[in-house]
């Protein structure tokens, strides 16, 4: 299918690699204009060249309010509007047991994975063209706590409920803006440590890693008018991990 997103403008945070890159590429293929953001300017510009089409890279730290204001302003200046936001940027956490983790380490993960999503939703509810769609990329860890990843689990669990609350608030505001979350399992990206690949494949009922395109297809559905009656929902693509 093509042109499911024709005429739409999307912002995809963390769009310079992995899941975000796959989402941006799928959106472009479906006719959208896309803004991708990320911290690494060189990598972001290269990704935009690789994807090609109506795509723009803007450097952004999602934990910084001023950066969000910049992204929104430049997107509207370039494309006249935005009606899709994908809150995808994130980190895998500090990789320490809870008992050994400092408060500053815990807060660092939240600042990107959770506060970054809050800022995106906040600005989208105020600036997004309607009808619109906000898509928060959470995780299977947002549905079940993972030992050794308390900071990551907390940030993704928080994203899950932030999404639900935002969906209801958008409706209460009279906004035609849908807010949904996607919960990937183990996806073949750099966030999966090489020394853990065999272990996570073994613990996944389908016995293989998911691909970024698996998440991109769900994002395209949620971004399109096909999901016009879907809000506050959680879509899992985890190879049966949460079954």
Alpha-carbon distance values, 146 to 141, 149, 150, 235 (Å): 6, 6, 7, 19
Residue 137 to residue 90: CA distance in whole angstroms: 9
SS3 percent helix, strand, coil of the chain, rounded to 5, is 50, 15, 35
CA distances for 171 relative to 26, 70, 122, 232, angstroms? 28, 27, 14, 10
Give the HSE-up count for residue 189: Cα atoms under 13 Å, Cβ half-sphere.
23
**Distance, CA of 51 to CA of 62 (rounded, Å):** 22
Indicate if 229 belongs to the active site: no
Q: Bin 232: left if φ > 0, else alpha if -120 < ψ < 50, else beta.
A: left
Catalytic residue among 68, 82, 152, 186, which? 152
Do 128 and 82 touch, CB atoms closer than 8 A? yes
Please identify every residue annotated as catalytic: 152
């Amino acid at each position: 299918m093509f042109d499911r997103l024709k005429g739409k403008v999307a912002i995809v945070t963390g769009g310079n690699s992995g899941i975000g890159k796959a989402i941006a590429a799928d959106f472009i293929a479906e006719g959208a204009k896309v803004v991708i953001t990320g911290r690494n300017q060189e990598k972001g510009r290269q990704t935009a060249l690789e994807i090609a089409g109506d795509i723009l890279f803007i450097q952004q730290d999602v934990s910084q309010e001023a950066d969000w204001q910049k992204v929104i302003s430049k997107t509207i200046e370039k494309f006249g509007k935005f009606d899709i936001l994908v809150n995808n940027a994130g980190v895998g956490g500090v990789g320490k047991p809870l008992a050994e983790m400092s408060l500053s380490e815990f807060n660092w993960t939240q600042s990107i994975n959770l506060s970054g999503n809050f800022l995106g939703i906040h600005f989208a509810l105020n600036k997004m063209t309607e009808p619109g769609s906000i898509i928060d990329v959470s995780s299977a860890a947002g549905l079940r706590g993972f030992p050794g990843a308390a900071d990551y689990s907390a940030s993704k669990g928080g994203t899950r409920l932030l999404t639900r609350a935002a969906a209801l608030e958008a409706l209460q505001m009279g906004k035609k803006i849908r807010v949904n979350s996607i919960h990937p399992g183990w996806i073949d990206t750099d966030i999966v440590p090489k020394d853990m690949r065999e272990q996570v494949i073994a613990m996944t009922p389908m016995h293989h890693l998911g691909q970024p395109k698996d998440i991109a297809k769900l994002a395209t559905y949620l971004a399109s008018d096909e999901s016009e009656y879907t809000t506050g929902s959680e879509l899992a693509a985890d190879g049966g991990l949460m079954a």
